């Protein structure tokens, strides 16, 4: 025992010295060597099957590890660029021709990617037996015809304009190995088989980290980093602190933080503000009193100071929106058909004999929603409507208007936000008669609206589409069930040593991130 002459006091001193040493050693961001990118995602991965994916962060991982025909183009303009496709073009309204790059291989010994794999992967989406939530992406699909080893034709039943904006540039064009999937006999969960993309999933530590590494066999355009570490952080404030502490290279921020970050950005960082595709509105359930009376609904439309609500909730970072379709897309509007006119609102309420009205405003329990709700509450009080704000957690909120629940016939007025893809049909689809009691909580059942929605899906002329979707939003205004508030903005922050690959709405494309 002579060799280890350690007293309790010297042991404690050594521990203290070690602790102090660990605190004074300077820490470095992971990406300082330029080979590792550390980014935040708002949720952990749960399903890696393109056909059954659940969230946007999974989209990004799936696109990176299973080569898609095309991916969205990074930049400020919506577009796409080929990844697995050597060429892809629309031959006529219902035919798309594709040819694959010659040397894309699947891992795990599943050989080269062929047109047979494309046929399998796309038809798997559309197969009713698969019950994919994304079957609608390929709802117009007739079949995929294999011409030879690398080329084929995608045949549609009818013209489908969103194909190039919201189907092909999503994981709906990711190609899986037919042989691997048939051997698996089930959907892919968190263990990918037969990967083929620019990156490979190297490691998944649940709730902690997902690591993508360059695919050594990928012979085409390379991603910008050797490794991408994806850290799931749900709370944007936590992610912002993580960025400021040097633990992240890129993160989305909360809208509320944008003014603070822009006025005082952390050292060596760039703050971005991108237009969002989301839309936020006040909805009124027309099947429940008092909103079964159109004049009461119109009174609410006139009672709400939309600019006041948006300025308060988003600290001036967002502007007022005039519909469900974001600027830049066909159907985007400059105005609504109702204005802020409290006197008119009071007149309408008086005309209907609606005195001492009391309503419940349901919202999601988020700070910006509560702030907006408080302004709405004040606006309604100003015209004589008493409004109680009811906050709901996300699990409760998203089922409030469901016909399967027991609250839809009590739901009166609510603050709602939907996100969308860059095609107006993605916004309008939720308000069709089929969606009554599903996502159409206003319960507006308008056949003309449905007909226009169907017409828009097959119309490729920008001007005509613009007209169709503006008319549809006009019908929404007429119903009195909607007060459109904003399209929000997307905030992001990144190190000045990287150049983020982002879609025009700020959503990330991991494989498009580069060193600055």
Q: Which residues bind other proteins (CB under 8 A)?
A: 19, 22-24, 26-27, 46-47, 54, 131, 133-134, 136, 189-190, 205-209, 231-235, 238-239, 241-242, 244-248, 393-396, 398-399, 402, 404-405, 407, 418, 430, 438-439
Q: Cβ 511 to other proteins, closest distance in Å?
A: 23
Closest distance to other proteins from the beta carbon of 438 (Å): 8
- Contact residues for 320 (Cβ-Cβ < 8 A; gap 6+): 306, 307, 310, 485, 486
* Residue partners of 446: CB distance under 8 A and separation at least 6: 433, 475, 479
CA-to-CA separations, 281 to 48, 244, 341, 382, 418, in angstroms, rounded: 32, 33, 18, 20, 9
Nearer to other proteins, 131 or 182 (CB): 131
Element holding 311 (H helix, E strand): helix 306-314
C-beta of residue 441 within 8 angstroms of C-beta of residue 399? no
Of 129 and 447, CB closest to other proteins: 129
User: Among 418, 423, 427, which Cα is nearest to 166's?
Assistant: 423
Residue 226 CB, nearest approach to other proteins (Å): 16
CB of 245 to other proteins, least distance (A): 4
CB atoms within 10 A of CB 337: 12
166 and 159 Cβ atoms separated by less than 8 Å: no
Name 392's bridge partners.
364
CB-CB contact of 178 with 116 (8 Å): yes
Q: Is 11 helix (H, G, I), strand (E, B) or coil?
A: helix
Task: In angstroms, give the least distance from the CB of 291 to other proteins.
Answer: 22
Question: Which is nearer to other proteins, 130 or 294 (by Cβ)?
Answer: 130
Q: How far is the CB of 337 from other proteins (least distance, A)?
A: 27
User: From the CB of residue 403, how many other CB atoms can be counted at a distance below 10 Å?
Assistant: 11
* Minimum separation from the CB atom of position 395 to other proteins (A): 4
Q: Which is nearer to other proteins, 189 or 515 (CB)?
A: 189
Q: Quick one: 12 or 381, whose CB is closer to other proteins?
A: 12
The CB-of-40 to other proteins minimum distance in angstroms stands at: 8
| Sole residue written with tokens 């060597």 | 33
- Which CB atom, from 175 or from 239, has the smaller least distance to other proteins? 239
CA distances from residue 173 to 19, 43, 404 in whole angstroms, order as listed? 51, 23, 33
Query: Residue 237 or residue 451: which is nearer to other proteins going by CB?
Result: 237
- Please identify, using beta-carbon distances, which residue of 237 and 289 lies nearer to other proteins: 237
Instruction: Spell 182-217 as b/e; 16+ CB within 10 A means b.
Output: eebeeebeeebbbbbbbbbbeebeeeeebbbbbbee
Task: Tell me the C-alpha distance between 249 and 260, whole Å.
Answer: 19
- Residue written as tokens 């959503």? 507
Residue 172 or 485: the one with the smaller Cβ distance to other proteins is 172
Shortest gap between Cβ of 74 and other proteins (angstroms)?
25
Residue 111's contacts (CB-CB under 8 Å, 6 or more residues apart) are 105, 177, 179
The CB-of-190 to other proteins minimum distance in angstroms stands at: 6
CA dihedral (155, 156, 157, 158) positive or negative? negative
Nearer to other proteins, 46 or 90 (CB): 46
User: Which of 410/464 has CB closer to other proteins?
Assistant: 410
Across the strands, what pairs with 502? 508
Q: Is 327 helix (H, G, I), strand (E, B) or coil?
A: coil
Q: How far is the CB of 329 from other proteins (least distance, A)?
A: 19
């Amino acid at each position: 025992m002579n060799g280890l002459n350690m007293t309790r006091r010297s042991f404690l001193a050594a521990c203290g010295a070690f602790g102090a040493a660990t605190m004074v050693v300077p820490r470095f961001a992971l990406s300082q060597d330029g080979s590792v990118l550390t980014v935040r995602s708002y949720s952990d991965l749960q399903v890696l099957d393109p056909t059954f994916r659940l969230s946007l962060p999974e989209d990004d991982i799936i696109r990176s590890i299973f080569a898609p025909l095309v991916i969205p183009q990074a930049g400020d303009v919506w577009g796409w660029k080929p990844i697995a496709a050597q060429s892809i073009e629309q031959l006529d309204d219902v035919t798309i021709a594709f040819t694959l790059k010659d040397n894309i291989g699947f891992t795990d010994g599943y050989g080269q990617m062929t047109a047979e794999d494309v046929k399998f992967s796309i038809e798997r989406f559309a197969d009713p037996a698969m019950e994919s939530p994304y079957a609608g992406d390929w709802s117009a699909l007739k079949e995929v015809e294999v011409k030879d080893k690398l080329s084929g034709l995608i045949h549609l039943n009818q013209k489908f304009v969103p194909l190039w904006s919201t189907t092909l540039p999503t994981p709906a064009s990711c190609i899986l190995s037919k042989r691997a999937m048939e051997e698996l006999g089930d959907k892919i969960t968190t263990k990918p088989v037969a990967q083929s993309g620019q990156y490979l999933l190297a490691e998944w530590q649940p709730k902690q980290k997902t690591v993508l590494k360059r695919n050594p066999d990928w012979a085409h355009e390379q991603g910008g980093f050797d490794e991408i570490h994806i850290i799931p952080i749900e709370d944007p404030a936590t992610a912002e602190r993580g960025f400021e502490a040097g633990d992240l290279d890129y993160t989305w921020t909360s809208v509320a933080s944008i003014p603070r970050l822009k006025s005082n950005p952390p050292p060596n960082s760039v703050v971005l503000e991108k237009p969002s595709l989301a839309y936020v509105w006040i909805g009124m359930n027309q099947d429940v009193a008092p909103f079964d009376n159109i004049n009461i609904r119109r009174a609410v439309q006139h009672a709400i100071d939309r600019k006041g609500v948006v300025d308060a909730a988003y600290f001036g970072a967002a502007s007022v929106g005039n519909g469900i379709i974001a600027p830049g897309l066909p159907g985007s509007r400059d105005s609504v058909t109702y204005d802020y006119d409290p006197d008119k609102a009071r007149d309408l309420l008086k005309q209907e004999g609606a005195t001492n009205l009391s309503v419940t405003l349901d919202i999601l329990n988020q700070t910006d929603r509560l702030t907006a709700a408080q302004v709405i509450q004040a606006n309604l009080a100003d015209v004589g409507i008493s409004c109680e704000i009811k906050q709901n957690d996300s699990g409760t909120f998203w089922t409030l208007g469901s016909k399967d629940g027991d609250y839809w016939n009590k739901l009166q007025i609510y603050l709602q936000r939907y996100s969308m893809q860059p095609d107006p049909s993605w916004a309008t689809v939720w308000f069709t008669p089929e969606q009554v009691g599903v996502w159409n909580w206003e319960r507006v059942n308008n056949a003309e609206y449905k007909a226009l929605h169907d017409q828009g899906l097959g119309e490729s002329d920008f001007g005509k589409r613009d007209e169709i979707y503006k008319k549809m939003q006009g019908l929404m205004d007429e119903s009195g069930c909607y007060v459109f508030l904003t399209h929000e903005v997307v905030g992001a922050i990144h190190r000045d040593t990287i150049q983020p690959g982002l879609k025009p709405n700020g959503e990330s494309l991991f494989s498009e991130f580069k060193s600055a």
